[in-house]
Amino acid sequence: MLDPQLLRHQLEEVTEKLAQRGFIVDQTRLAKLEANRKQCQVETQELQSERNRSAKAIGKAKAAGQEITALLESVSQMGEQLKARETQLEAIQTELNDILMGMPNIPHETVPIGRKEEDNLEVRRWGTPKTFDFFHKDHVDLGGDLGLLDFKTATKITGARFSLMFGGLARLHRALIQFMLDLHTEEHGYIEVNVPYMVNADSLRGTGQLPKFAEDLFHIAEQDYYLIPTAEVPLSNIARDMILKADELPAKFVSHTPCFRSEAGSYGKDVRGMIRQHQFEKVELVQLVKPNDSYPALEELTGQAEKVLQRLELPYRVVNLCTGDIGFSAAKTYDIEVWLPGQQKYREISSCSNFEAFQARRLKARWRNPDTKKPELLHTLNGSGLAVGRTLVAIMENYQDEGGRIAIPKILQKYMGGQTHLEK
């Protein structure tokens, strides 16, 4: 959530910045609400002061043995007026908060201005896209021909956008998870956390999925829980309503979880294969840092996600998302896109974002600044390190041979009992 002070004192600037994201601020409505809030707050404070003065006058009159009936009646009337003003102020503040909850974050100055994916700015590439001297397949045909990947049966069991993996492919999927967790905990300094896969609405409001993206979530109405769309939600909420000590920062958490998304609005997109499913798995990285450290932390976190692809020897590129393509809560996002021979293009495999204080303000996640001795808002960051299913797809397509076998990357062979290939 944006700082309300920005809307009170820098409304024109906020409007201009959010317009770069394609978000239109209703300045007239905000200005009117803010004027009403100020007036109502002044009247409320005046009534509170007057009631306090009258209460003291009643005390003095009692002590002097004077008649206080008129004073009591006046205080009673002021109480009713004060209650009405407080109710009015609360209603205005609720409306302002509702507007704030629907407003996206302000993009950082280094975010390129643009409206669509084509306006994103490529930052760097690593590796060379693989070429084949034979007819290469995509992961759907590779997995189907090997008898290791089955979409038809999964659709029978559940529905569209689900899959079954068997044998060596299921083990390779598990090996990827173990490799990623080992890398991030042993080399990158993250604490592994096993988190709930269901969260309450407050947790989703804290990270920005609610109220705006309710249709993208799977809601369990009976208990009023939601299946997590990403481990970012439970990991970031560890700090909700907390004040961390300076020496506890940065706090770096990693978690492997299934993720559940309804993919509302994605009808017709990536219907083939494992690229866009309702259930998938990720290894997620979350950092809680001091505000001055958040942009160096974003570079670090992105590099840590890249390291997974480098160790797997998978070609990729990093792009700085434009203002029209960054997520609702993000101030800046790098997408890491891996090369998929089956599609002959780079596809997103990780988004690494700095949310600045946007999530922390919703979460009331703070740290105590030793210089000021006062609590201040944290900055939060997250990134996939990596999306496991898409990494598996990239391995299948980049490591295939002419006979339809899939070579296992050297770094993963120790997790596969020394196995070097997946074959029928």
Active site residues: 261, 276, 348, 351, 390
Give the integer Cα–Cα distance in Å for 283 and 237. Answer: 17
Beta-bridge partners for 347? 338
Residue 161 and residue 280 in contact, taking contact as beta carbons nearer than 8 Å: no
Handedness of CA 35, 40, 41, 42 (dihedral sign): positive
Residue 228 and residue 209 in contact, taking contact as beta carbons nearer than 8 Å: no
230 carries a ligand binding annotation: yes
- Side-chain half-sphere of 87: how many Cα atoms within 13 Å? 6
384 carries a ligand binding annotation: yes
CA dist 48 to 54, 56, 99, Å?
Answer: 10, 13, 28
Give the integer Cα–Cα distance in Å for 422 and 400. Answer: 9
DSSP 8-state assignment for residue 193: -
Nearest to 320 by CA among 127, 116, 110, 128: 110
231 carries a ligand binding annotation: yes
CA dist 225 to 78, 198, 203, 229, 358, Å?
Answer: 43, 6, 10, 12, 23
46 carries a ligand binding annotation: no
Give the integer Cα–Cα distance in Å for 244 and 251. Answer: 9
Give the integer Cα–Cα distance in Å for 363 and 378. Answer: 10
Record the tokens describing residue 258, joined without a space: 């299934």
266 carries a ligand binding annotation: no
Count of CB atoms situated within 10 Å of the CB of 264: 11
Q: Which residue has the tokens 């160096």?
A: 296
163 carries a ligand binding annotation: no
Record the tokens describing residue 228, joined without a space: 């997590």
284 carries a ligand binding annotation: yes
Give the integer Cα–Cα distance in Å for 304 and 181. Answer: 12
Count of CB atoms situated within 10 Å of the CB of 161: 22
Residue 142 and residue 394 in contact, taking contact as beta carbons nearer than 8 Å: no
350 carries a ligand binding annotation: yes
228 carries a ligand binding annotation: no
Residue 192 is inside which H or E element, if any? Answer: strand 191-192
Residues in the chain: 424
- DSSP three-state, residue 262: coil
DSSP 8-state assignment for residue 107: P
Q: Which residues are annotated as part of the binding site? A: 230-232, 261-263, 284, 348-351, 382, 384
Q: Which residues are annotated as part of the binding site for ATP? A: 261-263, 348-351
Q: Which residues are annotated as part of the binding site for L-serine? A: 230-232, 261, 284, 382, 384
